[in-house]
């Protein structure tokens, strides 16, 4: 990288870094001429191997939760006297995609609350599913990241994520919806909610859809036990 300082403006340009078989390029800037410093970032990454970049502790014979080459770009800016203030005022966009990826089938079935297939995989061993499409498109405003599009598609299921991550309070409110392509007798298929702090998120089941499914099951059971 090239480091420059002129007239109260610090720049780190021509960044070229290599990690996890991938490449990071772009530039950073810090403008200290105003009452509040302005921080800017325009970074791109390509060919980043997720299985090398993300720590994934699993049994010796189990495959990584997710692997593949990730590409993306983030363009943001924020103002403040500290890192916390800058993050709390971030505006910008971020987008990434996964190429040649595979994902744990157990993770997909668990996200879809498919009890039958999850138990089966725990007995026979986890397998990987090819990722046919994985895209995340986010926008930041006032330190809050919102999902415009976040989807992961496999031959088994399609997983959608929507919601927000607030950097000022370090909290999240996300919903995960799984659309399966198969029929399973013990699949609850209710959305998952991820809430709470980033350090200690709380995972719960969306009770609305689950309650309707249980109510329908009880009604059908009164008509015919096989239903």
Q: Give 145-156 pLDDT, tens digit per residue.
A: 999 999 999 888
Q: Give 185-215 pLDDT, tens digit per residue.
A: 544 567 888 999 999 989 888 765 545 544 5
Average pLDDT for the chain: 83
**Structure tokens that stand for 135 in this block:** 């895209």
pLDDT at 207: 62
Q: Give 61-89 pLDDT, tens digit per residue.
A: 778 888 999 999 999 999 999 999 999 99
Rounded to whole angstroms, the Cα distance separating 196 from 166 reads 10
How many of the other CB atoms lie within 10 Å of CB of 152?
A: 25
pLDDT at 221: 57
pLDDT at 56: 78
Report, as an integer, the average pLDDT of 121-128: 61
Q: State the DSSP string of 9-48.
A: EEEEEEEEEEETTEEEEEEEEEE-SSSSEEEEEEEEEEEE
Q: pTM here?
A: 0.78
Report, as an integer, the average pLDDT of 25-36: 96
pLDDT at 113: 47
Residue 172 pLDDT more than 50? yes
| Alpha helices in 36-144, H assignment, sequence order | 50-53, 83-88, 105-111, 115-124
Could you tell me if 51 and 67 are in contact, meaning their C-beta atoms sit under 8 angstroms apart?
A: yes
């Amino acid at each position: 990288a090239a480091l420059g300082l002129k007239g109260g403006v610090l720049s780190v340009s021509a960044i070229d870094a290599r990690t996890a078989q991938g490449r990071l390029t772009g530039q950073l800037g810090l403008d200290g001429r105003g009452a509040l410093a302005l921080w800017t970032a325009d970074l791109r990454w390509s060919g980043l191997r997720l299985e090398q970049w993300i720590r994934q502790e699993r049994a010796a014979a189990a495959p990584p939760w997710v692997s593949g080459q990730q590409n993306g770009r983030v363009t943001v800016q924020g103002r403040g006297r500290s890192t916390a203030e800058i993050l709390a005022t971030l505006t910008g966009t971020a987008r990434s995609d996964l190429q040649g990826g595979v994902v744990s089938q157990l993770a997909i079935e668990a996200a879809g609350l498919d009890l039958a297939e999850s138990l089966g995989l725990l007995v026979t061993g986890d397998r990987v599913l090819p990722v046919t499409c994985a895209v995340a498109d986010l926008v930041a405003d006032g330190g809050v990241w919102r999902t415009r599009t976040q989807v992961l598609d496999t031959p088994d299921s399609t997983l959608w994520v929507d919601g927000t991550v607030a950097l000022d309070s370090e909290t999240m409110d996300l919903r995960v919806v799984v659309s399966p392509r198969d029929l399973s007798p013990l699949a609850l298929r209710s959305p998952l909610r991820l809430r709470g702090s980033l350090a200690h998120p709380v995972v719960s089941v969306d009770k609305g859809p689950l309650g309707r499914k249980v109510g329908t099951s009880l009604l059908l059971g009164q008509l015919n036990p096989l239903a």
